[in-house]
Structure 1
């Protein structure tokens, strides 16, 4: 470990904390539906969308209608993407004449991008046409991200409103977030990437001859536009198979820093927006403090383990940290930080191969996802996932100290606790259940490229990534098979929408309640004690649930490494 490495981590956190309030203010304007400086240009576009779709943005919806419209919209997007992929050979912008994607592969990809997971079992530059990349996938990067933010807004309204039946209008939320947030930032972001050397062209490839006279076909395409929203929307699906380790996706140390910042940018801002929405910004800062503590703890372990290196190689005379699977352009510190960022958020973009991390270094991305990716989390999904834990934490606190279980003025009763437990239980059920099946059936065991604990970790990571809607991979699992395409596709769908529906039910239940002013019997939820309780509840639940599986995978792998054995 070096001072330079710790300086990068410190700089990263300082910049994000400085941006939390400005970004949160913009998000709060969209949450309230207020006019912004962009309305002069984009206002007519927004109005045109409403007229074309026959939507009145002023008519709000109950949580049930909000959920039904959200589910119908996402199902329609899934079917559209499936048919684009299946018939890409008949569609334009396919200069290499790529064949349509097989049914199981198209099923997996369509669900992957609909759920904001962006899991990739294929090499994007050789499997998908420009039309499929742009129309089939990049559109999802915008709409799945805006769906997550819209759902966060709905839950915010549940906490903020009193005796209300509605939690907003799904179509209005989606449209405003896309037009006034994701689209303008993505345009500026893509322009920066183009200036930094990222390609943006409709050409599929270019022929080149090296100095040694070797001819190469270099894949190109509309990379910058997809890269911008991939990071900003915590999507993660790379244009190239090497993802953000590829120099055409992430060419410099500056683009690497900007990519990491953009993954967390909206998640940081949403914490401040929540505090503003409930009338107490200290609530938002308390959530952000808890998130930051969890993030720094995980990042420190990952950096420590990768910098320490592999003791087996040390005994062979190879000194230094673990550089296997890492881009020398970024090094150990930036790679460890990127791995923590992308798995703390539901992004899935990688600038190093997690399969090549040390056992405990690779365990940190696993833990980040198994905690529900509530440490900053994906756009929208992180904050509403964290608030589910907050509901449980305040309920537990009430039981322990005999105080009324209230959070931001709303009494937390049996209905909210049951729904929160139901939503949180989806992750362990699907992760552990899917891993158990894959670890015993022949089709599942054919996937991992390694045997023993590391092979188990590869399977566990795949289902953790899928259910958590992350999309990153250990890169040691041959997942492009009918078995894994089907199993992981189901896992992604359940992991996304079986959490969202109970969360929206909580929003509806809270919105109908009265606001209870704080009293001497209320448990304070803005100070260090509350932050510590939140961190403890999240770690205890994650530890009790996933510790056995981690012991069979990365912990056993680490002990084997200390004994001189490598998988």
Structure 2
């Protein structure tokens, strides 16, 4: 560890928040239908979409109608992705000549990209055609990210309404977020990345000659445009199997900084957009501080573990102060620590190093950050929505202490909201621990593991944690392209995505009908240090108590095994 490493981590984390602040104001204007500087160009395009779909963007929907529209849209997206992947071999724009993918892989990939998870049980450069990458996977990178934003927009409206009925129009929120936020930013970032050396071509490959004189074909795609929405949309799925450790996706330290910051950029922007839209900037700023404290602690813990001598090297009397196994040597341990924390704190899942090669406690931290609920800052909109759910639980706990009906942002929090909040936060442990328990004893599932013992359990636990939390990263030892893994991971992704979304929209439906209350002398302030501490405690208890036994059997046991091995040598 050194001050340069700490400075690199701090710069990467802080840049995302600083840039996200003005972007959040802009995103709020988009959600609220206010005028933006892109209106002269995009208003006619927006109107065209509404006319084609027969949509009245000013007609507000009840939470039931909003949720049904969201689920129907994503169901159609699932079918389209599945169909294109199965028919890939007979469709055009397939210069690689790839065949259609298997039914279980098509199911997994469709679930993955529709849920904004982007888990990949395949190597992108050896499996998916140019058409598949562009027509369905890239499209889902946009609309799955926009879907998360619509949930936050609807929830924000519920807090400012006074005995209202509607939470907004899903179709308008979806179109506006895609057109005004994701598309312009992706175009700008794509141009920047092309200028910095990322390929952007429809060619299948380029011929090269190795230093030994042997011919080699190097796979090519439209990388820059995919990389832009991969990070800005908090998607994470890469065109290449090694993801952002590949020089075509991440060629220089500058592209590494830009893409790392992009991972969290719109997640934080959604926090600020929610605060402005709900007229609760100070209260949401407290949520940002809470999330930033946890994210920074996670990055610091990973950096500390990865800059210690690996026990095996200590036993062999090799002088090494950094564990470089699995790191991209161009960027080093600080970059890997910052990236690993940011990608698991968000629902991104892209990697510039292999998480399976982290020290046991470093790997445990990446899992734990996902197990907290993908709220640091999570996905675009989905992160702030679940963080607000955590805040509702925090004020409920405080209300129990003082015997007063809890309130949050001017709305009373009653039994129905707490029941729905628990549904939203319990689905991840239910899916993760349930499937992990079955997989740990099922011979068919165990065939996919590279390692036995605690690290093998970590591979299982990480896989289902990543899927249920809609993250998409993996411990690299798990071979998931098999019927059991593709099917159960796909189910985990859909449970982890749509169960919390429906619960949050139901909370919005309950809150929108309530009167807006002015603060009183008995109202718990939710913008100060006391509430930040209470909120962090609730988040850690929900994550820690539910997952600690499983973590103790996996990475924590592995850590002590490594220490015991060194002690036995000495």
Q: Give the whole-Å Cα distance in 2 for the aligned partners of 1:48 and 1:236.
A: 31
Mean alpha-carbon deviation: is it higher for 412-421 or for 7-16?
7-16
Aligned alpha-carbon RMSD (Å):
1.1
Give the TM-score taking structure 2 as reference length.
Answer: 0.98
- 3-state SS of the aligned residue for 2:217? strand
Deviation at 1:379, TM superposition (A): 1.1
User: 2:117 maps to which residue?
Assistant: 117
CA contact (8 A) 1:86 1:102 kept: yes
CA contact (8 A) 1:273 1:284 kept: no
CA shift digits 1:118-137 (9 cap, x unpaired): 00010000101000011120
1:84 maps to 2:84: yes
User: 1:295 maps to which residue?
Assistant: 295
1:542 maps to 2:551: no
CA contact (8 A) 2:13 2:296 kept: no
CA contact (8 A) 1:404 1:522 kept: no
CA contact (8 A) 1:231 1:262 kept: yes
User: 1:144 maps to which residue?
Assistant: 144
Q: Give the whole-Å Cα distance in 2 for the aligned partners of 1:20 and 1:348.
A: 20
User: 1:418 maps to which residue?
Assistant: 419
User: 1:468 maps to which residue?
Assistant: 469
Q: Give the whole-Å Cα distance in 2 for the aligned partners of 1:126 and 1:156.
A: 43
Q: Give the whole-Å Cα distance in 1 for the aligned partners of 2:45 and 2:273.
A: 25
CA contact (8 A) 2:260 2:342 kept: yes
Q: Give the whole-Å Cα distance in 2 for the aligned partners of 1:94 and 1:16.
A: 37
1:251 maps to 2:281: no
Q: Give the whole-Å Cα distance in 1 for the aligned partners of 2:382 and 2:257.
A: 23
User: 1:393 maps to which residue?
Assistant: 394
Mean alpha-carbon deviation: is it higher for 246-255 or for 275-284?
275-284
Runs of 5+ unmatched residues, structure 1: none
Q: Which runs of 4+ in 1 moved over 6 A?
A: none
User: 2:193 maps to which residue?
Assistant: 193
User: 2:273 maps to which residue?
Assistant: 273
Mean alpha-carbon deviation: is it higher for 325-334 or for 31-40?
31-40
Aligned residues: 566
Deviation at 1:269, TM superposition (A): 1.5
CA contact (8 A) 2:271 2:381 kept: no
Deviation at 1:565, TM superposition (A): 7.1
- 3-state SS of the aligned residue for 2:307? helix
CA shift digits 1:193-249 (9 cap, x unpaired): 111111110001111112320211100011111110000011011000010000000
Mean alpha-carbon deviation: is it higher for 411-420 or for 93-102?
93-102
- 3-state SS of the aligned residue for 1:125? helix
Mean alpha-carbon deviation: is it higher for 203-212 or for 545-554?
203-212
Q: Give the whole-Å Cα distance in 2 for the aligned partners of 1:204 and 1:455.
A: 36
Deviation at 1:375, TM superposition (A): 1.4
User: 1:13 maps to which residue?
Assistant: 13
Q: Give the whole-Å Cα distance in 2 for the aligned partners of 1:354 and 1:18.
A: 28
Q: Give the whole-Å Cα distance in 2 for the aligned partners of 1:543 and 1:212.
A: 52
Mean alpha-carbon deviation: is it higher for 316-325 or for 336-345?
316-325
Mean alpha-carbon deviation: is it higher for 261-270 or for 518-527?
261-270
Q: Give the whole-Å Cα distance in 1 for the aligned partners of 2:118 and 2:485.
A: 15
CA contact (8 A) 2:9 2:337 kept: no
Give the TM-score taking structure 1 as reference length.
Answer: 0.99
- 3-state SS of the aligned residue for 1:218? strand
Runs of 5+ unmatched residues, structure 2: none
CA shift digits 1:48-73 (9 cap, x unpaired): 01101111101110000000000000
1:512 maps to 2:513: yes
Deviation at 1:94, TM superposition (A): 0.6
User: 1:528 maps to which residue?
Assistant: 529
CA contact (8 A) 1:234 1:345 kept: yes
Q: Give the whole-Å Cα distance in 2 for the aligned partners of 1:18 and 1:430.
A: 35
Q: Give the whole-Å Cα distance in 1 for the aligned partners of 2:22 and 2:163.
A: 31
- 3-state SS of the aligned residue for 2:565? coil
- 3-state SS of the aligned residue for 1:200? coil
- 3-state SS of the aligned residue for 1:206? strand
Deviation at 1:16, TM superposition (A): 2.7
CA contact (8 A) 2:163 2:512 kept: yes
Q: Give the whole-Å Cα distance in 2 for the aligned partners of 1:529 and 1:509.
A: 27
